[in-house]
Amino acid sequence: MLEIKKDQAGHYSFVVKSPQGHPLLESVPFPDPEAVQQQVAQLRPQVQNPAIVERTTGHDGKFRFALKNAEGAVLGHSQAYSSEAGMENGIKNTLNGLADLPSKF
């Protein structure tokens, strides 16, 4: 599931949510909803490419991942996970959610 939201500054972002509605990944800001749709549309065919996911471990020992576009620019960041297995499950759910989106959402 994907939600587009607008912040107080007028920027738009997307949030990928789990089937239960929990946020998995929040995007960087975009200037308008069309830019969000364009980035997601370009990202959908790339979900099978492992290079679009960057895994990191913070100084606090928490696991996070970032989603990148085909050019390597970061599109969004995950929440912090207490385990690597939890992070991997979050990655799987995020990519599955993106792959299952209709062409226009």
User: By residue range, what is the domain housing residue 55?
Assistant: 2-99
Task: Give the percent of the chain with pLDDT over 90.
Answer: 65
SS (HEC) of the chain: CEEEEECCCCCEEEEEECCCCCEEEEECCECCHHHHHHHHHHHHHHCCCHHHEEEEECCCCCEEEEEECCCCCEEEEECCECCHHHHHHHHHHHHHHHHCCCCCC
- pTM here is 0.87
The answer to whether position 68 is within a domain reads yes
The answer to whether position 105 is within a domain reads no
- CATH of residue 58's domain is 2.30.29.80
Q: What is the pLDDT of residue 60?
A: 95
- Number of domains the chain contains: 1
The answer to whether position 84 is within a domain reads yes
24-62 pLDDT, tens per residue? Answer: 999 999 999 999 999 988 888 888 898 899 999 999 999
The answer to whether position 50 is within a domain reads yes
Q: What is the pLDDT of residue 97?
A: 86
